[in-house]
Amino acid sequence: MTLLDDGASPAATHKHVGTRPIRHDGMDKVIGKARYGADEVLPEMLEGAFLRSPHAHARILSIDTARAAEMPGVKAIVTGSDFPRLPLDHPEETLSQNLMARDKVFYDGHPIAAVAATSSKLARKAVDAIVVEYEVLPHVLTVDEAMAEGAPILHEHLRTKNPAIQDDAPTNVHNRTFFEKGNIDAGFANAQVDIERTFTTKVVHQGYIEPHAAVADTGQDGRSTIWCSSQGHFKVRAMTASLLGWEPSRIKVIPAEIGGGFGGKTNIYLEPIAVLLSQKSGRPVRLVMSRDEVFRSTGPTPGAKVVIRIGASSDGKITAAKADLVFESGAFPGPWAMIACLTCWSAYDIDNAQVEGFDVVVNKPRAIPYRAPGSPQAAFGVESVMDEIARELAIDPLELRLRNAATKGTRTLHGVELPIVGAVDTLEAVRSTEHYSLPLGPNQGRGVAIGYWGNMGAASSATVNLNEDGTVIVITGSPDIGGSRASMALMAAEEFGIDVYQIQPIVGDTESVGFTDVTEGSRATFATGMAVVEASRKVVAVLCQRAAQMWNVDAATVSWLDGKAHHLSSDDRTPLSLQEITRQAHSTGGPIGETASVNAAGAGPAYATHVCDVEVDPETGQIAILRYTTAQDAGTAIHPSYVEGQMQGGVVQGIGWALNEEYIHNGQGILENPSFLDYRIPVASDLPMIETIIIEVPNPNHPYGVRGVGEVGIVPPLAAIANAVRDATGKRLYDLPMSPPRVLEAITGSE
C-alpha cells in the first residue's frame, strides 16, 4: 500500500473509511433470506416460457399461435408483432429487435414468442405447439467471414459510421473508430526493434450464477410494477417504457438482490415481455431463464481479432505503436471496438501512436459489457507484444513498462490529459514483491502485464433520513453488486462520526429515490458515494442548526465532531449527540432528512499490474496456475475487503477467459456448449491463492479519493498468463483460450 507524504495511508486519516465491517446484508444472504429475481411470488401469478430460434439466420415467413392459444392453462401469448416498430435510427431499435424477433432471426436462441400459463409445464407445452415457418439464410460467425467480399448481410439498412472510404453499399461493419497522434512512420523508422503480431479471442460469457428473472404485474389502470434482478432498475424502467411506447411514469421497478452481473445485467431481455403478458392476461407473470437460455440468448462479451505493432529503441523506449482492432458485436451494433480504441494504449506514454477499430455484426447473441469491455482483448495483444519487446532487448519486463508508463500529464491517444494516476505505483509494487524474485522450476514460467480502465461517473441520487433514535437511513438507487451498501454506510458513518452499524443502507425502488444511472463503469462507490456524502453533509448542517436552536445560539457557533454538536464558545455547554437532537426534532422543526443528486465527473482512471506463475505439463498441455499477485490502484479503499474481492474476482474470470472459456458453434451456427458442464468456468481447484496489493493514490475529484475498482482487474490476466506460458514453454500462443490441445499443439508443432 502506498503512503501519503505524511507517512500515513489515505484511510489512516479516517475513523470508518478503510475499515472492514461485516456487510449489512451479509446475514440475509448467508441464511438464504435475501430475495433474488425469481423469488417474488404474487397471488394468481402465471409462469412464462419462450419459443426461440433454432437457426443462426433465417427469415420468418409465418408464426401460427392458434393451437397454443387454445391449450389448457394458456392465458396470453406475445410475439414481435405486439411491440411497436421503432424507427431504424431510434437508439433502442436494435434492443427492440433483440428482445423479440420480427421479420428475421439473427442467432440461435433469438426469442420469437412467449407464453404465459398457469404452470411452467403448460407454458412449455404451448410453446412447442407454436408453428413457425422459416427461410433459412446463410450466416457468418467471425469477423473475417462477415467482412469478406460477398458475405451474407445481416441488416440491409446498415452502413458504416465514420468510414475511411465512402460507400453506400450494405455492410456488416457498422462503425469505424480512428485515433492518431505524432508520426508513426517516423517512429517506426527510429525503432531498433519492430514487432507485429496478430491475436484472437473468442466470445465468452460473464458466467453469473443467477439466471435472468422478472415478475411483472400490470394493472387495469395501465401501470405496471416490475420486480427484477439488474444492475440498474432505472435503466430497466427507461428501456421497458421505450420498447413498449409507454411513459416511464407508468412503470415502477423494484430491485431484487443480484446474483452476479459483471456487466451482463445492464440490458433487458424479459421485462417488457412480462409486462405485455401480464397486461394481456390480467394477472402477474413471472419469466425465468434456464441456463441454456442464458448462454444462447443473453449478451456475452465480443470476440476479437487484434493486430498489434510496437517499435522501440535499444533502451526500451516505445517509438511507435499501431493497433488494428476488429470486434464482433453479435447480431446488432455495439461500441466494443470503439471502447477498446480508448483503452488500447492508455497504460503508456507514447509520442507516436495510432489505433483503428471496426465493430462488426455476426450471427451470435448481441454482445454486451463484461468488466472493462474491450480492454482485455486489446491488452492481450499489447501486453504480449510488450513481452516480446522485452525479450528482444533483454530488458526486465516490468522495467520496460516502467520506462513507458503513463503518468500525470500523459496525453492519451484520444486527447485526454491524465490526472494523477497510479500506473507506476502498481508496477513498482509488483517489482518489490517476494513473488517476482522467486526462482522457477522446470516447465514453469512467469508473466506480467499491466491494464487500464478509465472508469465513469454519471448521475446518482441519495436520500439520508434520521430516525428518532439517532440512527441513519441511507437510500440510494445503485443495486449492490459488489458490496456498495457497505461502502455507502462507511462514508455516511465518516460524515456523521457514528458507528457504521447505526447506518442502514437501502437500495430504493424507482419511486423511492432520485434517478440513478446503471451500476457499470465502476461508478457506484465513486458517483453514488458522492451523492451520499453530499446528502449527509446537508443533514449534518441541519443538525448543527437544530443544536443551535436548542442552545439558543447562532448556528455559526456550532460544529459537528464525532457524532455530536459542539459549541465553539468558551462556555460549558455539553455536546449534544445525534440521538439527543433527533429526540427533540418534533419541537425544533420536524423530521430531518436531505436528498442529493449529482452528475459526477472526474472519475479517476485505474491501473492494475499482475504477475502470474504457471507450470505447463509438456505431455498434456495442461496449465496450472501456481501463484498470482495483483497490485491495483483503488484511490482510497473504502472497504478493503471488498476491494480485494473485486481484484481477486477479476483475476479468476481472466483465468477462465485465458485458459478454458469460449462459445463453440457448429457448422449451422448452433451453440454446442450452453451449460456449465460444457462451458467450463474456473472452480476452486483450478485456482491458486490470489495475493492482493491495494495501492492508494487518492482521486482528488472525490471526497474520499475513490477510484472505481470493479473492472480493471480483468484486463491484465489474459496477457499475464499468455506471457507466463511463453516463459515456460518457449512458445507464444496467439489465440485464446489456451486450452490443453492448443498448448500441446504449440509445444509439439503437431496439427
pLDDT digits (tens, 9 = 90+) for 286-339: 999 999 999 999 999 999 999 999 999 999 999 999 999 999 999 999 999 999
In CATH terms, are 374-455+604-748 and 457-600 the same topology?
Answer: yes
What number is the average pLDDT over the span 96-122?
Answer: 98
- Give the DSSP per-residue string, 584-613: THHHHTS--EEEEEEEE--PPPEEEEEEEE
Cis peptide, bond prior to residue 10, ω within 30 of zero = no
CB 332 within 8 Å of CB 207: no
Residue ranges per structural domain of the chain: 374-455+604-748, 457-600
What number is the average pLDDT over the span 37-42?
Answer: 96
**372 three-state secondary structure:** coil
Indicate if the pLDDT at residue 4 is higher than 50: no
**76 three-state secondary structure:** strand
Q: What percent of the chain has pLDDT over 70?
A: 98
pLDDT at 596: 98
**Residue that is written with C-alpha cell 435503466 in the block:** 235
What number is the average pLDDT over the span 531-537?
Answer: 98
Indicate if the pLDDT at residue 168 is higher than 90: no
CB 567 within 8 Å of CB 574: no
Contacts of 550 (CB under 8 A, 6+ apart): 576, 581, 584, 588
Model confidence pLDDT, tens digit, residues 508-520: 999 999 999 999 9
pLDDT at 400: 98
Rounded CA separation 135/128 (Å): 19
CB 54 within 8 Å of CB 274: no
Instruction: Write out the three cell numbers for 275.
Output: 409486462
pLDDT at 10: 57
Instruction: Write out the three cell numbers for 262.
Output: 459483471
CB 380 within 8 Å of CB 716: no
CB 651 within 8 Å of CB 628: yes
Domain 457-600 -> CATH class:
alpha beta
Q: Which residues lie across from 79 on neighbouring strands?
A: 113
What number is the average pLDDT over the span 436-462?
Answer: 98
Instruction: Write out the three cell numbers for 271.
Output: 421485462
Count of CB atoms within 10 A of residue 86's CB? 17
What are the strands of the beta sheet with 111-117, ordered from one edge? Answer: 74-79, 111-117, 46-52, 285-288, 213-218, 224-228, 251-255
Short-list 343, 108, 101, CA closest to 203: 108
Rounded CA separation 402/405 (Å): 5
Model confidence pLDDT, tens digit, residues 599-612: 999 999 999 999 99
Rounded CA separation 581/549 (Å): 10
What's the topology of domain 374-455+604-748?
Aldehyde Oxidoreductase; domain 4 (3.30.365)
What number is the average pLDDT over the span 625-646?
Answer: 97
Indicate if the pLDDT at residue 546 is higher than 80: yes
Q: Which residues lie across from 411 on neighbouring strands?
A: 417
